[in-house]
A and B are shown apart, each in its own frame.
Chain A
Amino acid sequence: MRAISASRTALPKVQNPLLVFLERMKRNWSGVLLIAVVVGYVAFLIITPITALALGAFEKGLGASLSALNQPEIFSSFWNTLWISLVVVTVHAIFGTIVAWVFVRHRFPGRDLINGLVDMPFAVSPVVAGYMLLLLFGRNGALAPVLESLGIQVAFALPGMVLATLFVTMPFMIRELIPVLEAFDTRQEKAAATLGASGWQTFWRVTFPALRWGMIYGVTLTFARALGEFGAVLVIGGGVQGRTETATLFIYRALEERQYIGAYSASLALGLFSLILVLGSDWLRRKRH
């Protein structure tokens, strides 16, 4: 009995995976070279800058970074960013779902062209996006008389910044939901309808649960992109300190004013926040599979 179990444990030799890898690679030099080139490139292009930011933020010690972050203007700018991002995510969660739904389920003339148009914010410069809104809502803008008579200020105020962020984050939710909707088996909906469910009930109880994960991922991508938006909110918001300054606009101003520790620490905080968001939802998604 004992002899058998001993021989069993001895059979699959416990080997260091690194050694196994090296052994295999001894026979494949071109493979080693390719892996080395790719790892080296990624280390240089992506890892080094991220490490530099972490080191730069703590250059003068943790205390200095924390006290640089502990300023009222940082709080108000991060608060603006968070507020704008939350509004943007909510709007896209609703309208993005509707748009994706119409694209997948409806056929109408011009569908391909409009489908291509949805990707435009991905390639249109954020500066141009902000400028477009300025042409509409600015002092001499096309809608200026209407806005003035209603007493609403859009440019150089939070509503304009929300609109700008809505524009630049447009594709994420829609592009995340379209494949999910396309893969969804509509027979489930038909079955629900046969059983007497109303259209709204069918959507809420059958379709929506299937969309949930696409929505979660779309929301995190939109949120991460909204947090980091800079060019568009700079142009339409003007970056008025304490009023229309977002986290990115604060970082920009801090750099200009040579408050390096503050700029680096705020960059690290913002970068980490959006990384955690995206990696967290990635992890959730992988856990589900």
Chain B
Amino acid sequence: MNLQTAITPTSKKQTTSLPWGQWSIRSIALGYLAIMLLIPLLIIIQDGFREGLAEFWRQITLPTAWHALKLTLWTATVMTLINTIMGTLTAFVLVRYDFPGKTILNGIIDLPLAIPTLVTGVMLVILFGPQEVLGSWLKEQFDFSVMFAPPGIILALLFLTFPFVVRSVQPVLMELDRAQERAAATLGAEGWTIFRRIILPPLTLPVITGALLSFARAIGEFGSIVIVAGNIPFRSQTAAVYVFGEVESENRLGASAVSIVMVAIAFGLLMLANYLRKRRSKKETV
């Protein structure tokens, strides 16, 4: 302990004066990030506003672009709602119950992270494709199509983002003090009341963080959606697929404008998620 207090002040002096080695390593790191992240992001912003704000607005309010953006946002919202409920429930079951096959279930949660999203799309095509057993049966019996329609998009997004809420909630749930719940039970609280009043409040931040990450990830998804939903304007064309189409047909302004909207949403959501995470860790240390 004595040794540490003796060393700390000198090392602090070292980091404030920064020897050239430290300087060069910092400039390498920041330069790398600037070249890889900042310049590409700036170039797209510059390109989208090249013809002014009015033209930018005209490009994103073109009927096809506007519809693609709306479709992206509402499918992502529906997915996030389902994923938040099911993800929290899954984390709860994994932490609170012991049952045969629990370790396997816990391992399966991460599978979507390891599977290429394009392959996810292929899986859903095999299941729900119009020529396949399940797909044609659903079509005939209920006139319900998953492929080339919003349900397919939502299903693909649910698959991809399943780990986010679960893995955000699980560690917090594990660390919860169960004495409070027992106290509530002794005082006569019912199971649901205990869940709502005791368990849920500390879970709010991790649940929201997980939901934000799922939503942010869903906005840009391309690989699985282009296969499951195809590229049908006004029906199953999401923003990412729209941008792809505009790039292919060399409509630079349209592609850049819609890209900027997507990047802005992504950036806002990530910053919010980071802020919440920080607030949480601050709360823990106090």
Question: Which A residues lie at the B interface, using CB under 8 A?
Answer: 17-18, 21, 25, 30-31, 34-35, 37-39, 41-42, 45-50, 52-53, 55-56, 95, 98-99, 101-103, 105-108, 112, 114-136, 142, 166-167, 170, 187, 190, 199, 221, 224, 227-231, 234-235, 248, 251-252, 255, 263-264, 267, 270-271, 274-275, 277-279, 282
Q: Is the CB of A35 within 8 A of B116?
A: no
Chain B residues in 8 Å Cβ range of A17: 100
Q: Is the CB of B123 within 8 A of A50?
A: yes
Known: A98-B32, A127-B240. A41 touches B114 (CB 8 A): no
Stretch binding the partner chain, chosen from B53-61, B177-185, B203-211, B255-263: B255-263
Q: Is the CB of B118 within 8 A of A248?
A: yes
Q: Is the CB of B270 within 8 A of A35?
A: no
Partner of A128 from the list B89, B107, B125, B259 (CB cut-off 8 Å) is B259
Chain A residues in 8 Å Cβ range of B11: 190
A255 to B7, CA, bound (A): 64
Q: Distance (Å) between the CB of B57 and the closest chain A CB?
A: 19
Q: Is the CB of A49 within 8 A of B124?
A: yes
Residue in A closest to B101 when the chains form the complex, CB atoms:
A39
Q: Can you list 10 A-B contacts (CB < 8 A)?
A: A30-B191, A38-B94, A50-B115, A122-B213, A125-B240, A125-B262, A127-B222, A132-B43, A228-B115, A274-B114
**What is the interface residue range for chain B against chain A?**
35 or more
Q: Is the CB of A38 within 8 A of B90?
A: yes
Question: Which B residues lie at the A interface, using CB under 8 A?
Answer: 4, 7, 11, 15, 21-22, 25-26, 28-30, 32-33, 36-41, 43-44, 47, 86, 89-90, 92-94, 97-101, 105, 107-120, 122-127, 155, 158-159, 162, 191, 213, 216-217, 219-223, 226-227, 239-241, 243-244, 247, 252, 255-256, 259, 262-263, 266-267, 269-271, 274
Known: A41-B90, A52-B127. A116 touches B274 (CB 8 A): yes
A41 to B106, CA, bound (A): 13
A118 to B191, CA, bound (A): 42
Q: Distance (Å) between the CB of A99 and the closest chain B CB?
A: 4
A118 to B217, CA, bound (A): 14
Q: Is the CB of A46 within 8 A of B33?
A: no
Q: Distance (Å) between the CB of B169 and the closest chain A CB?
A: 13
Instruction: Add 18 more A-B contacts to A120-B263, A224-B114 (CB < 8 A).
Output: A38-B86, A38-B105, A39-B105, A99-B33, A106-B15, A112-B274, A114-B33, A119-B274, A125-B239, A126-B223, A131-B44, A135-B40, A135-B256, A142-B43, A224-B113, A228-B119, A231-B226, A231-B240
Chain B residues in 8 Å Cβ range of A199: 21
Partner of B105 from the list A42, A98, A99, A107 (CB cut-off 8 Å) is A42
Q: Sorted from nearest, which 7 A-B pairs have the closest CB atoms? A: A228-B116, A125-B220, A123-B266, A49-B123, A132-B40, A278-B114, A231-B222
A201 to B91, CA, bound (A): 44
Chain A residues in 8 Å Cβ range of B259: 125, 128, 131-132
- Which has the most chain B C-beta neighbours within 10 Å: A17, A119, A255? A119
Partner of A275 from the list B111, B252, B256 (CB cut-off 8 Å) is B111
A202 to B115, CA, bound (A): 38
Known: A18-B100, A99-B32. A127 touches B274 (CB 8 A): no
Residue in A closest to B191 when the chains form the complex, CB atoms:
A30
Q: Is the CB of A34 within 8 A of B93?
A: yes
A37 to B43, CA, bound (A): 47
Q: Distance (Å) between the CB of A137 and the closest chain B CB?
A: 10
Q: Is the CB of A126 within 8 A of B222?
A: yes
Q: Distance (Å) between the CB of B276 and the closest chain A CB?
A: 12
Q: Distance (Å) between the CB of A187 and the closest chain B CB?
A: 7
Q: Is the CB of A123 within 8 A of B113?
A: no
Q: Distance (Å) between the CB of A135 and the closest chain B CB?
A: 5
Residue in B closest to A168 when the chains form the complex, CB atoms:
B220
Chain A residues in 8 Å Cβ range of B271: 116
Q: Is the CB of B220 within 8 A of A120?
A: no
Q: Is the CB of B40 within 8 A of A99?
A: no
A50 to B108, CA, bound (A): 11
Chain B residues in 8 Å Cβ range of A115: 274
- Which has the most chain B C-beta neighbours within 10 Å: A187, A230, A277, A278? A230
Q: Is the CB of B44 within 8 A of A135?
A: yes
Q: Is the CB of A37 within 8 A of B89?
A: yes
Chain B residues in 8 Å Cβ range of A55: 126
Q: Is the CB of A136 within 8 A of B97?
A: no
